[in-house]
Amino acid sequence: MSAGTAATASVSTHILDTSVGRPAADVAVSLAARTGPDAAWQALGDSRTDADGRCKDLPALPEGTAQVRLEFATEEYFAGGIISGADGNQAEEQGRETSRRSGSGAFFPAVTVTFTVTAGEHYHVPLLLNPFGYSVYRGS
């Protein structure tokens, strides 16, 4: 770890769609940071989850970051239609019970998670998502 990296916190995330037990792919995620509770948010960048539900290219946090905000575009994700199985085939084609994403809009159109960080620490913040609820936690 370089001296510059040790002086800042870092963030990673991933999303699991618990309604189907699979990673949530292609979800837009934005990252913002601020130096304290009264400071203005600074947009740092956007990413999208990969096929494994992970954002691997979130930008580094600036030195002095005290709070971070991740925003997940869940409405766009749930408007996506039928969820494919692990083998890439749609559940309908397999004759199994299908699980549909809500095409009429998500109950939570966005999930915003704000948390405090300490310089030198890594914060992995997984999102467990379903059409009518979500949960987040500090992972490892």
pLDDT tens per residue across span 38-89: 999 999 999 999 999 999 899 999 999 999 999 999 999 998 754 544 444 4
The pLDDT of residue 8: 86
Question: Does pLDDT of 11 surpass 50?
Answer: yes
Tell me what the mean pLDDT of segment 13-25 comes to.
96
Q: Which long-range contacts (CB under 8 A, 24 or more apart) does 42-51 make?
A: 49/14, 49/15, 49/23, 49/24, 49/25, 50/25, 51/23, 51/25
Q: Which residue has the higher pLDDT, 84 or 36?
A: 36
Among all chains, which residue has been given the structure tokens 């940071």? 33
pLDDT tens digit sequence for 94-123? 332 334 444 456 799 999 999 999 999 999
- Give the start-to-end residue ranges of the domains of the chain: 3-74+113-127
CA distance 55 to 53: 7
Token pair listed for 134: 């979500």
CATH number corresponding to 3-74+113-127:
2.60.40.180
Asked if residue 134 has pLDDT above 50, the reply is yes
pTM, full prediction:
0.80
What's the confidence (pLDDT) of residue 88? 47
> Which pLDDT score, from 0 to 100, does residue 17 have?
96
